[in-house]
Amino acid sequence: MNEIKIFSPATVANVACGFDVLGFCIDTIGDEMVIRKTEEKGIKITKIEGYDLPFEAEKNVAGVSALAMYNDLQPNCGFEIEIYKKIKPGSGIGSSSASAAGSVYGMNELLGRPLDKTKLTYFAMKGEALASQCEHADNLAPAIFGGFTLVKSASPLQILELPTPSDLFVTLIHPQIEIKTSESRAILPKEIPLSNAIAQWANVGSLVHALHTSDYNLIKEALHDVVIEPYRKQLIPHFDDVKNAALKAGALGCAISGSGPSIFMLSKSEDTARNVEKAIRKIYSNTDIVFETYVSKINVEGIRAL
Ligand SMILES: Nc1ncnc2c1ncn2[C@@H]1O[C@H](COP(=O)(O)OP(=O)(O)OP(=O)(O)O)[C@@H](O)[C@H]1O
Ligand SMILES: N[C@@H](CCO)C(=O)O
Residue 181 a catalytic site member: yes
Which among 287, 61, 1, 283 has a CA at the least distance from the CA of 181?
61
Q: Looking at the predicted structure, is the pLDDT value of residue 233 above 90?
A: yes
* CA-closest residue to ligand 1 atom 5: 96
Share of the chain above pLDDT 70, in %: 100
Do the beta carbons of residue 59 and residue 45 sit within 8 Å?
no
Report the pLDDT value the prediction gives residue 135, as an integer from 0 to 100. 77
Share of the chain above pLDDT 90, in %: 94
* CA-closest residue to ligand 2 atom 1: 20
* CA-closest residue to ligand 1 atom 26: 92
**Model confidence over 39-85: pLDDT tens digits?**
999 999 999 999 999 999 999 999 999 999 999 999 999 999 999 99
Q: How far apart are CA 12 and CA 298, in angstroms?
A: 10
**Phi/psi at 78 (nearest 5 deg)?**
-115, -175
DSSP-derived secondary structure for 11-29:
EEESTTT-TTTEEEEEEEE
Residue 121 a catalytic site member: no
184 CA closest ligand 2 atom index: 8
From 95, 232, 257, mutation site for ligand 1 pocket: most ligand atoms within 8 A of C-beta: 95
Report the pLDDT value the prediction gives residue 274, as an integer from 0 to 100. 98
Do the beta carbons of residue 274 and residue 296 sit within 8 Å?
no
Question: How do the domains of the chain map onto residue ranges?
Answer: 3-162, 168-297
Q: Looking at the predicted structure, is the pLDDT value of residue 134 above 80?
A: no
CB within 8 Å of 205: residues ≥ 6 apart: none
Report the pLDDT value the prediction gives residue 183, as an integer from 0 to 100. 87
Mean pLDDT computed over 11-19: 98
Report the pLDDT value the prediction gives residue 139, as an integer from 0 to 100. 97
Report the pLDDT value the prediction gives residue 137, as an integer from 0 to 100. 95
Ligand 2 and 14: CB distance under 6 A? yes
CATH of domain 168-297: 3.30.70.890
Report the pLDDT value the prediction gives residue 258, as an integer from 0 to 100. 96
Sort 214 into a burial class: Cβ within 10 Å, 0-12 / 13-18 / 19+: middle
* CA-closest residue to ligand 2 atom 3: 258
Do the beta carbons of residue 56 and residue 44 sit within 8 Å?
no
Q: Which segments of the chain are extended strands (E)?
A: 3-13, 22-38, 42-49, 78-84, 148-154, 157-162, 168-175, 253-256, 263-268, 291-297, 304-305
Output the furthest CA–CA distance in the chain (Å, rounded): 58
Give the helix, strand, coil percentages of the chain, each rounded to 5: 40, 25, 35
From 61, 96, 134, 139, mutation site for ligand 2 pocket: most ligand atoms within 8 A of C-beta: 139
Sort 14 into a burial class: Cβ within 10 Å, 0-12 / 13-18 / 19+: buried
**Dihedral (CA of 34, 39, 45, 47) sign:** negative
**Model confidence over 275-297: pLDDT tens digits?**
999 999 999 998 999 999 999 99
Strand, helix or coil for residue 30:
strand
Mean pLDDT computed over 208-218: 98
**Phi/psi at 189 (nearest 5 deg)?**
-70, 150
Report the pLDDT value the prediction gives residue 211, as an integer from 0 to 100. 98
From 15, 20, 150, mutation site for ligand 2 pocket: most ligand atoms within 8 A of C-beta: 20
Residue 131's pLDDT band (boundaries 50, 70, 90)? confident
Q: Looking at the predicted structure, is the pLDDT value of residue 178 above 80?
A: yes
* Threshold 0.90, pTM exceeds: yes
Ligand 2 and 142: CB distance under 6 A? no
Report the pLDDT value the prediction gives residue 286, as an integer from 0 to 100. 84
Q: How far apart are CA 227 and CA 200, in angstroms?
A: 7
Mean pLDDT estimate for the chain = 96
Centre of ligand 1 from the C-alpha of residue 96, in Å: 4
Strand, helix or coil for residue 227:
coil
Q: Looking at the predicted structure, is the pLDDT value of residue 133 above 80?
A: no
From the candidates 181, 229, 272, 277, give the one annotated as an active-site residue. 181
For 19, 212, 214, the CA distances from 185, given in Å and listed in that order, are 11, 30, 32
Q: Does domain 3-162 bear CATH number 3.30.230.10?
A: yes
138 CA closest ligand 2 atom index: 1
For 54, 107, 193, 284, 285, the CA distances from 114, given in Å and listed in that order, are 29, 10, 45, 47, 49
Centre of ligand 2 from the C-alpha of residue 181, in Å: 6
259 CA closest ligand 2 atom index: 7
